Amino acid sequence: MLELLMAGGKAMIPIGLAAVVALAIIFERLWSLRRTEVLPANLATEVKAWALQHRRLEEEHLRALEQTSALGEVFAAVLRARHLGREAIKERVEDAGRHVMHGLERFLNSLGTIALIAPLLGLLGTVIGLMNLFLAVMANGIGDASQMAGGIGEALICTASGLVVAVPSYVMHRYLRGKVVDIGVEMERQVIGLIDALELETPIMAAPRRVIK
């Protein structure tokens, strides 16, 4: 197998590096996007009970909540603005949500770039292999079949290697993107549930209405 890869020539070096980086990103994201890590099962219930029992929450408790998970970070933003009205809470949640989603999408752009450029690197290796083939023909004619086979083999190996890296990278990029979207939707649902619970407990959170006499 190693001899086959080495037969691909120098163009196999960037393809190999791209494969290593893609694998590292995929495993890191699969580990970081675990549901138990991002959306702990009982966190929403515990935070609701905790918030309804304590009118005033210490900052150190909110910081500890932020460090539990991505969902905890958004919950902390809700609790900090609980007495400022629903619109203020919404703005805080949007700010915290953008920060959280940026963290969840970490490295995905790099993975998408690898999926895009890997076939191009394979094409580059193909062109180099064909160039070597033509140079061998110019130098020795078409009588030396081994040199011709070497150039053709280099071209085919690079093409196949680029595709082998690109296809799984693209599939995992789409899968991880979808996973982030699903997490965002579930996070939004749980945050709305917390806001509704706090609003029912604390009517002052509702926006004031003008009374027309």
Sequence-distant (≥ 6) Cβ neighbours of residue 65 within 8 angstroms:
47, 72, 73, 75, 76, 79
Residue 89 is predicted with a pLDDT of 82
pTM given for the model: 0.79
**60 or 29, which is more confident:** 29
Sequence-distant (≥ 6) Cβ neighbours of residue 91 within 8 angstroms:
81
Position 142 pLDDT exceeds 70: no
Q: Residues 21, 109: contact at Cβ < 8 Å?
A: no
Residues 61/65/66/70 CA torsion (nearest 10 deg) = -170
Q: Residues 128, 154: contact at Cβ < 8 Å?
A: yes
What is the maximal distance between C-alpha atoms in the chain? 104
Q: Please, which pLDDT band fits residue 50 given cuts at 50, 70 and 90? A: confident
Residue 33 is predicted with a pLDDT of 92
C-alpha of 146 from chain center: 46
**154 or 121, which is more confident:** 121
